[in-house]
Amino acid sequence: MQCLCEWVRQFRKQLVYKCYDCNCGSYDGPPKQCSRTVGADNLTKVWESWTCKAADPTWECWRGCTGRKMGGMWYSTSDAGYCGDGSGPSTPNCTWRVAEFVKRVNKTCSDSIIYAEVETTGASCFDGCSDSGIGPGRNATSPCWIGCFYDTVLGPDARNPGGSITGMPVADLIAAWNLPFASDSPATKGCPALKP
């Protein structure tokens, strides 16, 4: 199953669960009607033997190397399987629900904190980007900034077919991901909680 689903605020009022770009089936086959089943994909297995080719754009190498470095599981839910928010009876034969709501943060805030951690680690590379600063002055669309980001996260050789994956330790990347959720204060690299 390949679905992109998320909670979105509809007309700045009610929070609604929406799915878009949702289809099911294999990656290389025709899409088919999604069932209520929760899809699962073991990304560690998907990317373990993948390598980019010499003719591929650099981002293909980064994509595969990111998958190989981080691994993990990808779960896809469909609106057909959603059990509801608990305010009423569950949908018959539903397959998933939100078990616990921990914290929601603004993506821009979260990205900024993660980017700052990567920029600190790879400062010597980012300092060489004439078309981008760091922190609030960053231009995350700059080819130089993007190259430094992935060189810092994955190591500079990861942009090449068969290149080694080094860069920031996975534990440091996970710690950077968790920072926005650990505090509500920007002074401690946290993001304010958004209401569900």
What string of DSSP letters covers 17-82? EEEEEEEBS-TTS--B---SSPEEEEHHHHHTT----TTS-HHHHHHHHHHHHH--EEEE--GGGB
39-42 and 73-76 beta bridge pairing: antiparallel
The conformation of residue 91, written as its DSSP 8-state character, comes to P
- Residue 60: per-residue pLDDT: 92
This prediction's pTM = 0.79
Q: Whole-angstrom Cα distance, residue 64 to residue 142?
A: 21
- Residue 1: per-residue pLDDT: 44
| 8 pLDDT above the threshold of 60 | no
- Residue 35: per-residue pLDDT: 72
- Residue 76: per-residue pLDDT: 81
